[in-house]
Amino acid sequence: MHYSAYHHSKIPVAANKVFPGENSRDTKEIKSPCLITGSRKNLELFRLKLRIISWIIQSYINPRHWFGALNHLYELRATFLGNYKIKKMASVGNKYFTSLYAPAINAANFREFILSELNRYKKLKYPANKLNHVFLAITNKCPLKCEHCYEWNRLNRKEVLREENLKQSIKKLQNLGVSQIYLTGGEPLIKFDLVLELLNFAGSKTDLWLNTSGFQLTEEKAAKLKAAGLTGIFISLDHHEETEHNHFRNNKNAYSWSIEAAKNAVNQDLLVTLSICTTKEFVTKKNLTSYMELGKSLGVSFIQFIEPKKVGHYQNSEINLSAPQINLLESVFETYNFNDEYLEYPIICYHEYYQRRNTCLSTNNRGLYIDSNGGINLCPFCHTSSGNILEDDLELVLEKMRSNQCLQA
Ligand code: SF4
């Protein structure tokens, strides 16, 4: 598990940038092993637009629905970008990613991802994926004791889900259609062989990712994960300073595990994300600047901000960020993602930024969280206990959950 607790009032969006370099051209190319920008990025986006238009025309007979579908996709895009344009994309192998929660834009399964969205706009005549992303907790075991752990109440108990149960769960999800599955825990790397087994079992029709603290991820293990088909890896790192991160995670090795894991995963051409719980103690301009520098120096593609949330170990803690802190985070998000001065830095993914402008990306059957007991929940922070993956008809559970709203909003 690798996150934390929160708030969710509508707050004024940052009006003034706190970082320099407002001028923006869209042709600047940077040399980065993990990012593409400028005309190369523009060409890939142009090709993507043509593909999407052709998928829409193939999907609906009535031209009125072509425009409606395009509008639906533009609105979804605005959730992530507002009025900004995409300035950079992550590049791994020959695949290009604009988001952590969508397949590569030039991969075969991106079409399925788009069709699932079209199906939300207006039912398609043929089957489409019912789900975009699912977090699947494969173990409740963990060597850490993190301040913010959302699985805290289930950690280090007798395991409920065995290998065959997990395979059955993956099969059920794939039968309904799912673009991405994120293997999480507990600490999934505690069960390294199981992770390999599940990657092999899932095959290539779904992207599989790993959410980890980086626990003992050697380069050899990273190579095995890559060879087994892993797409990407989220590595928790909650501070750029070793002592602070170790303190937050209650383990003297936590920082070295994270850093080594990031280096090893980057070397093995995995799509690497550093994920940080942006606590009120952490959120200052100085800390955020240092953290972004660290991410850049490690060569990771994405950095994920997650605001602390009142769940699990943080259930009874005072964790809310102040309005100026949220403004600062939003300004950092906009500056590093959309300003030409920051093209060489990792892309920031910031869920609460999207939520404050639109809605939670798990609602409307886009996402699910299967906990280590098999419980079906809206997301890792919204423990809705809507059913059990082994016992219940998943399609019926999804139908029931369609109108579930984010409990953290
Ligand atoms: S204690 Fe373990 S499961 Fe919980 S957040 Fe930390 S690494 Fe994740």
Which residues, in sequence order, are CB contacts of 395 under 8 Å at separation 6+?
Answer: 130, 176
Which residues, in sequence order, are CB contacts of 47 under 8 Å at separation 6+?
Answer: 106
Secondary structure class of 144 (helix, strand, coil): coil
Q: Best mutation site among 249, 250, 276, 314 for ligand 1, i.e. most ligand atoms within 8 A of its Cβ?
A: 249
Q: How far, in Å, is the centroid of ligand 1 from the Cα of 149?
A: 5
Helix spans in 316-369 (H): 323-338, 351-357
d(CA 207, CA 379): 18
> Which of 348, 390, 280 minimizes the C-alpha distance to 19?
348
Structure tokens at 34: 């993990």
Residue with tokens 């791994």: 92
Q: Best mutation site among 2, 189, 309, 315 for ligand 1, i.e. most ligand atoms within 8 A of its Cβ?
A: 2
Q: How far, in Å, is the centroid of ligand 1 from the Cα of 142?
A: 6
Structure tokens at 379: 């997301």
At residue 396's C-alpha, the angle toward residues 382 and 204, to 5°, is 80
One pLDDT digit (tens) per residue for the chain, 409 residues: 544 322 333 333 343 445 544 444 566 676 566 899 999 999 999 999 999 999 999 999 999 999 999 999 998 888 778 789 999 999 998 899 999 999 999 999 999 999 999 998 999 988 888 899 999 999 999 999 999 999 899 999 999 999 999 999 999 999 999 999 999 999 999 999 999 999 999 999 899 999 999 999 999 999 999 999 999 999 999 999 999 999 999 999 999 999 999 999 999 999 999 999 999 999 999 999 999 999 999 999 999 999 999 989 998 999 999 999 999 999 999 999 999 999 999 999 998 998 888 766 766 778 899 999 999 998 888 888 899 999 999 999 998 887 766 666 6
Nearest CA to ligand 1 atom 6: 146
Domain ranges of the chain: 35-121, 131-401
Q: What is the pLDDT of residues 209-245, one digit of tens each?
A: 999 999 999 999 999 999 999 999 999 999 999 999 9
Residue type at position 295: G
Structure tokens at 77: 């895009």
Query: Ligand 1: which atom is nearest the Cα of residue 152?
Result: 4
Distance of CA 170 to the CA centre of its chain: 18
Query: Ligand 1: which atom is nearest the Cα of residue 249?
Result: 6
Name all residues whose Cβ lies below 6 A of ligand 1. 1-2, 142, 144-146, 149, 151, 185-187, 213
Q: Best mutation site among 184, 187, 191, 369 for ligand 1, i.e. most ligand atoms within 8 A of its Cβ?
A: 187
Structure tokens at 293: 């520098």
> Which of 352, 225, 369 minimizes the C-alpha distance to 276?
352
Structure tokens at 50: 């043509």
Name the helix (H) or strand (E) containing 88: strand 88-92
d(CA 288, CA 274): 13
Structure tokens at 171: 């099969």
> Which of 221, 208, 260 minimizes the C-alpha distance to 237?
260
> Which of 375, 379, 283, 297 minimizes the C-alpha distance to 333?
283
d(CA 134, CA 155): 20
**Per-residue pLDDT at 15:** 38
What's the per-residue H, E or C state across 271-306? EEEEEEECCCCCCCHHHHHHHHHHHHHHCCCEEEEE
Q: What is the pLDDT of residues 350-390, one digit of tens each?
A: 989 988 887 667 667 788 999 999 999 988 888 888 999 99
Please state which CATH number belongs to domain 131-401.
3.20.20.70
**Per-residue pLDDT at 81:** 81
**Per-residue pLDDT at 73:** 93
Q: How far, in Å, is the centroid of ligand 1 from the Cα of 255?
A: 14
**Per-residue pLDDT at 157:** 95
Return the bridge partners of 350, or none: 305
Structure tokens at 327: 């403004």
d(CA 206, CA 203): 7
Structure tokens at 29: 């190319």
How many other C-beta atoms are found inside a 10 Å radius of the C-beta of residue 254? Answer: 26
Total length of the chain: 409
**Per-residue pLDDT at 3:** 42
Residue type at position 333: F
Per DSSP, the residues of 3-64 read --B------PPP-S-SSS-----S------SSEEEHHHHHHHHHHHHHHHHHHHHHH-SSHH
**Per-residue pLDDT at 118:** 95
Q: How far, in Å, is the centroid of ligand 1 from the Cα of 321?
A: 21
Residue with tokens 């019926």: 396
